[in-house]
Amino acid sequence: MSGRLIESLATTPALAAMFSDESVLQAMLDFETALARAEARCGVIPAQAAGAIAAAARLDNFDICALSDAGFRAGTPVIPLVKMLTDQVRNVDAQAARFVHWGATSQDVADTAMSLLLKRAESILIGDVKRLEQALADLSERHKGSVMLGRTLLQPAPPVTFGLKAAGWLSSVRRGRRRLQKTFWAAAVLQFGGASGTLASLGDRGIPVAEALSADLGLRNPPAPWHAQRDQLAALICSSGVLTGSLGKMARDISLLMQNEVGEATEPGGDGRGGSSTMPNKRNPTACSLTLAAAHRVPGLVASFLSAMLQEHERGVGGWQAEWPIIAAAVQSTGVAIASMAEVAEGVSVDTQKMRLNVQNTNGAIFAERAMMLLGAKLGRDVAHKILEAAARKSTEEGRNLSAVLAEIPEVTIHLGPSELEQLEAPEQYLGSAENFRKALIAESDREDNDEN
């Protein structure tokens, strides 16, 4: 039964296809086919048997609904899959049917199939996140001089640049991508251990078969089977959670900047994108909402996976059986967040005039810190803070610029002349090290990427 309508906001078309019933079944069949080929090469089973198994392991030979129903009763879809595959092989070669799934266990199939899916999913996720990184780097450079309000606790604060804000998003996303790549590499590996993780059924051929199998599937062969050791998969899910959180922070910022009363940035639009079913005037933060939805889902998935790590002895009961839906949902949620923010970064509209207007509309209140530091050097910080606190209150109550109020206070004018007060509210003159920090974030990201290469 398809769940595409329910999952339509939680994945991308490419990842939905990656984790579809057909794709999962194909990955399991790929394992069984590769196992037969590896065992034939190592002299464990006849080459003729491997050929018959490969010929029978075709998608159109299997009823996915029947397989799913039988898997529910068996506790794993692998048991009915092996039975169905054996029946298919027997129809062609009764002798070859004896060698289906030879020396393997159900978890070998399930875990290796997931590793194959993860390896394929990695290229999708990393491709999209690199698009996002490039778009953010371009956005940061383009807006390195675009002055805007800083906002702390959602209130106006001294100015920053949009270029610095974009560089901050970029640095967090790049760190998250590197973590994700490392954990994909560690998690997407072969699982082949047989009944108790010793490959005892294959005698002295176990390790050669594992090496041949990993080579056939294009998966790294770990030092030993890892049936009940789920830390590497857990690290992948955790890194997905961290990256999705970083993307959610970016989405939160942009959705707030899109509010009509702020109006400093707008997501790209287009047919069917960002509209309302009742309000034709609206431009909704659709991509941001998809990302924020993912950022809400993934932490719970991380917690669920971590709780499933408590697996007993050599094979857990209920732990690894919980993992497939968690892994699929976490990877797809991370993927939809990456793809959504890549679309935003590549097409976001930035209104620099509105940014400057919003700075001006504070009537200079955001420069109270600057005035306090100037006066503090003459009067002491405590005295200057009290003067500025009273001046800022008067500025707000009377709707006048802070500099105009300060120009009426003798304790101020004795130390700050007309030219200093006139320049007090020039945002470009109170950006501190913003550009240095922006460049440092960009350079750090580029340097670490070059070091990895």
Q: Which of 90, 205, 283, 315 is catalytic?
A: 315
Q: Which of 8, 123, 276, 349 is catalytic?
A: 276
Is residue 1 helix, strand or coil? coil
DSSP per residue, 104-120:
--HHHHHHHHHHHHHHH
Q: Which residue has the tokens 């970064």?
A: 345
Radius of gyration of the chain (CA): 30
Residue 336 contacts residue 129 (beta carbons within 8 Å): no
Tell me the two tokens of residue 432.
């501190």
Return the amino acid letter for 35. Answer: L
Alpha carbon distance 184, 186 (integer Å): 5
Active-site annotation holds for 445: no
Return the amino acid letter for 344. Answer: V
DSSP per residue, 115-184:
HHHHHHHHHHHHHHHHHHHHHHHHHHHHTTT-EEEEEETTEEEEEEEHHHHHHHHHHHHHHHHHHHHHHH
Active-site annotation holds for 276: yes
Alpha carbon distance 105, 146 (integer Å): 60
Alpha carbons within 13 A on the beta-carbon side of 295: 21
6: CB partners within 8 A, 6+ apart: none
Alpha carbon distance 362, 352 (integer Å): 16
Alpha carbon distance 56, 89 (integer Å): 6
Sign of the CA dihedral running 349, 273, 326, 195:
negative
Consecutive H or E run containing 147: strand 147-152
The candidate with the shortest Cα–Cα distance to 243, out of 330, 136, 138, 118, is 330
229: CB partners within 8 A, 6+ apart: none
Give catalytic residues, as residue numbers. Answer: 276, 315
